[in-house]
Amino acid sequence: MVKKIICALDTNNLDEAVRVVKQLAPHVGAFKIGHGLTLPYGLDVLDRLRDAGAARIFLDLKFHDIPNSVALAVGEAARRGVWMMTLHTTGGPAMMAAAVSEARESAEGTGPLLIGVSVLTSLDQHTLTDHLGVNRSIEDHMVYMSRLALDLDLDGVVCSPQEVKAVRKAIGHGVIVTPGIRLPNGDHHDQMRVGSAGQALDDGADYLVIGRVLTNCDDPEAVLAKLGFESAHHA
C-alpha cells in the first residue's frame, strides 16, 4: 500500500465508486470524494464507501461561504468522521477560524484535517490575473494564502506540483496535498499545472491525489510502478 496516495473518485455513480474502492483499497491510503457523490447520495455515501474498504475518506467539497454557514457544514462533516476536508482560503480569516473551531469541537479526538485551497490546478496565470484580478504570480499568491491558512490553524493546503517547493519552504510543517499528478507523457485532462509523483514528493508534498490514471486501470501495481513507487517506497 502507498499511504501517500489519495485516489480521487471522480464519478457520480455509487456502484462504480464502490467497485473502485474494493479494487484499490489494498493499494492506496485514502479516497477522495466530491460533489459528484455527495449531491446524489448525501453524506450517507461515506458509510457505503467505508463498507467497501475506504478506511480514510477525504471530503473535497471546498467550503466557501459566510463563517456560520461554513462552520455548520464543517461540523456535520466532522461528526461523520471524515479524515480530511477542504475549504477555500479566499473565504477569509473569519471563515477559516470558524471552520477550525467547529472541527475541533464537533469531532471526538483530533477531528478532521482542514486543508486550504487557494488556486485551483485548473487555473493558469492568465486566468488568475486577467479574469480574477489577482496581481501576484501564482506561486507568490499560493505562498501568501498558504501562510495565512497555517497562521489560522488550518492543518495544511492544496497546491499543484509546480508550487510545492515554494509552499513547503513557506509553511514548514504543514500538510501539503498535491493533485495534478500525471504519468510521463500523460494527458493533462482539465488541469493546467501538473507534474510527476517523484518530483512532488521530493519537493515536499505529503499526499498525492491521483484519479483517472488509477480508477481506469486494470493493474494498479503496474500503474504505481510507472508513477515511481517501487515496493521499497510502499509506506
3-state SS class at 209 = strand
Q: Exposed, middle or buried by CB within 10 Å (0-12, 13-18, 19+), for 164?
A: buried
Query: With contact defined as beta carbons under 8 Å apart, do 159 and 178 qualify?
Result: yes
Q: Catalytic pick from 4, 22, 32, 62?
A: 62
To the query of whether residue 226 is one of the catalytic residues in this protein, the response is no
Query: What distance in Å separates the CA atoms of residue 57 and residue 48, rounded to the nearest whole number?
Result: 11
Query: What distance in Å separates the CA atoms of residue 202 and residue 145, rounded to the nearest whole number?
Result: 22
Provide the greatest CA pair distance for the chain.
46
Catalytic residues: 62
